[in-house]
């Protein structure tokens, strides 16, 4: 982990975790309710993201959900584009790009994702924590309630909080399942007798308990001890990365406002510990960048309020790079940041191109090898072709082939019409019959239009072998 502790502070804090007591027990964190510009911006963004999370499974386009991640049936719908097993390469590239994107983005912008967009932080800080503040009050009241004997008020407060937490977890679990199977399937499970959907009901219950356990009890430990992305910070961040940072060049030596000011030449930090009090992971950002920091910016808001009250300029804690603080320079895009951004853009471009040029059907029509042309009545001549159709959609389709150029006809061998099965490769044989007068020598180029359910989905160019004189 790239870090810079203030020059005069010890590195002892690295020997322990803020969430673990000296006796090895859990230190329950009671962060003070944040207030300020960043908290308001995060709340607004969270509302948008939560609306998206709860509403997106209900969005329908052309009879299909706009988003679906059905891992069981290997059916994925992203922005209305249906992707299945045949789109393995697109999905693989998308996953690789996402990983590369996460690495590169973190190297430049630090852990900003964690504080602003990560579902764990959003649900924890913007849903569950807000409910806790509403029922139990701010940090000091929560501590007092914990210490208080069990009386009616405590039972009501603690009980109602846990019931609401459970209700939200149940709602989240159901929405989560809708992202996987769609609202229609979930509705079928809800209305059918329970014994018909035991597995699904069991997964909803398990998901609900997991969410409840994470947000009611496990909390910040998910970010600090479990999240693999958080674990990777140590190797991803460097001194140029933008992080929530304490300006030790300006803040140190710190000192209490009344006691020491005027006695010693102190820095701007008045050692009020407001930045520590609001931290949901229980750390002191003045010790430098730490693994536990989720970049939620609560300490920025808290410190800015203190700076304002004490007549100092804001930004003692701010988004900055370690190099920027040390050299007193503004955050600049380094050549490395530019090259990383170029890679991100390139990958996004490739995926967009693949998605836009992707077709629902892939059709191959090749003349059957080893066969010459066949003479037909009325001065006509035919060639036999092998047809291979890959149907990437999730419904069967009737396929029709029509000769576009030159004039002629196509006959499906064996059947009246060709049916392409969903998510499968269908093979067949067709005869292309041309009038001899339309031949352009031994080889005549032909164009065949392919229709699925009456809609032209492809145009194939192939060749027709004429009669050898």
- Which stretches of the chain bind ligand SF4, using CB under 6 A? 244, 246, 251, 254, 269-275, 278-281, 283, 285-286, 293-299, 302-303, 306, 316-317
If one counts every other C-beta atom within 10 angstroms of the C-beta of residue 422, the result is: 12
Q: Minimum Å distance from CB 53 to ligand SF4?
A: 22
CB of 316 to ligand SF4, least distance (A): 5
Q: Which is nearer to ligand SF4, 205 or 310 (CB)?
A: 310
Least distance to ligand SF4 from the beta carbon of 228, Å? 18
DSSP character at residue 20: B
Q: Which two tokens stand for residue 134?
A: 């509403």
Closer residue to ligand SF4, CB minimum distance, 236 or 279: 279
Q: Which of 388, 464, 469, 468 is nearest to 432 (CA)?
A: 464
Alpha-carbon span 66 to 80, nearest angstrom: 4
Nearer to ligand SF4, 227 or 343 (CB): 227
| DSSP three-state, residue 30 | coil
In the bound state with ligand SF4, the residue whose beta carbon lies nearer, of 189 and 274, is 274
Nearer to ligand SF4, 208 or 281 (CB): 281
- 69, two tokens: 């991640």
| Residue 313: CB minimum distance to ligand SF4, A | 12
* CB-CB neighbours of 198 under 10 Å: 9
Q: Output 260 or 384, the one with its CB closest to ligand SF4.
A: 260
Instruction: Give min distance, CB of 287 to ligand SF4, in A.
Output: 9
**Beta strands at 67-70 and 75-78: parallel, antiparallel or unpaired:** antiparallel
Q: Smallest distance from the beta carbon of 251 to ligand SF4, in angstroms?
A: 6
Q: Is 232 exposed, middle or buried (0-12, 13-18, 19+ CB in 10 A)?
A: middle
Residue 370's contacts (CB-CB under 8 Å, 6 or more residues apart) are none
Decide: helix, strand or coil at residue 375: strand
Question: Considering the complex, what minimum distance in angstroms separates the CB of residue 36 from ligand SF4?
Answer: 11
Quote the distance between the C-alpha of residue 339 and its chain's center.
Answer: 23
Q: Which of 109, 124, 66 is nearest to 298 (CA)?
A: 124
- The residue among 204 and 297 lying less far from ligand SF4, judged by its C-beta, is 297
């Amino acid at each position: 982990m790239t870090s810079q502790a203030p020059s005069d502070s010890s590195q002892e804090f690295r020997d322990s975790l803020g969430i673990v007591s000296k006796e090895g027990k859990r230190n329950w964190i009671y962060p003070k309710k944040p207030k300020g510009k960043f908290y308001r911006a995060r709340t607004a963004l969270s509302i948008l993201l939560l609306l998206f999370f709860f509403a997106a499974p209900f969005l329908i386009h052309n009879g299909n959900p706009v988003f679906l991640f059905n891992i069981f049936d290997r059916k994925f719908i992203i922005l209305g584009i249906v992707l299945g097993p045949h789109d393995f390469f697109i999905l693989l590239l998308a996953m690789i790009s996402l990983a590369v994107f996460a690495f590169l983005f973190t190297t430049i912008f630090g852990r900003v994702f964690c504080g602003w967009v990560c579902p764990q932080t959003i649900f924890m800080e913007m849903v569950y924590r807000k409910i806790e503040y509403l029922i139990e009050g701010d940090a000091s009241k929560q501590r007092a309630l914990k210490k208080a004997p069990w009386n009616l008020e405590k039972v009501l407060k603690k009980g109602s909080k846990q019931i609401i937490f459970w209700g939200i977890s149940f709602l989240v679990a159901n929405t989560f399942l809708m992202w996987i199977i769609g609202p229609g399937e979930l509705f079928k499970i809800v209305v059918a007798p329970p014994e018909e959907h035991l597995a699904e009901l069991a997964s909803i219950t398990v998901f609900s308990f997991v969410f409840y356990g994470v947000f009611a009890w496990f909390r910040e430990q998910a970010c600090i001890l479990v999240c693999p992305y958080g674990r990777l910070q140590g190797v991803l961040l460097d001194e140029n990365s933008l992080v929530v940072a304490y300006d030790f060049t300006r803040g140190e030596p710190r000192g209490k406002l009344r006691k020491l000011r005027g006695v010693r030449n102190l820095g701007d930090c008045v050692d009020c510990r407001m930045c520590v009090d609001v931290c949901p992971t229980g750390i002191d950002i003045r010790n430098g960048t730490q693994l536990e920091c989720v970049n939620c910016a609560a300490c920025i808001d808290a410190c800015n309020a203190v700076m304002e009250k004490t007549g100092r300029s804001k930004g003692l804690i701010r988004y900055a790079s370690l190099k920027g603080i040390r050299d007193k320079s503004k955050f600049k895009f380094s050549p490395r940041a530019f090259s990383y951004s170029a890679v991100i853009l390139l990958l996004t471009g490739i995926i967009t191109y693949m998605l836009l040029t992707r077709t629902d059907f892939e059709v191959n029509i090749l003349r059957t090898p080893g066969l010459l042309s066949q003479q037909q009545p009325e001065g006509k001549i035919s060639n036999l072709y092998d047809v291979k159709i890959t149907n990437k959609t999730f419904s069967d389709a009737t396929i029709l082939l029509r000769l576009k150029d030159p004039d002629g006809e196509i006959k499906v061998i064996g059947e009246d019409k060709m049916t392409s099965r969903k998510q499968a490769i269908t093979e067949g044989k067709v005869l292309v019959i041309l009038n001899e007068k339309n031949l352009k020598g031994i080889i005549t180029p032909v164009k065949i239009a392919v229709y699925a359910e009456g809609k032209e989905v492809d145009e194939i160019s192939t060749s027709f072998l004429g009669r050898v004189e």
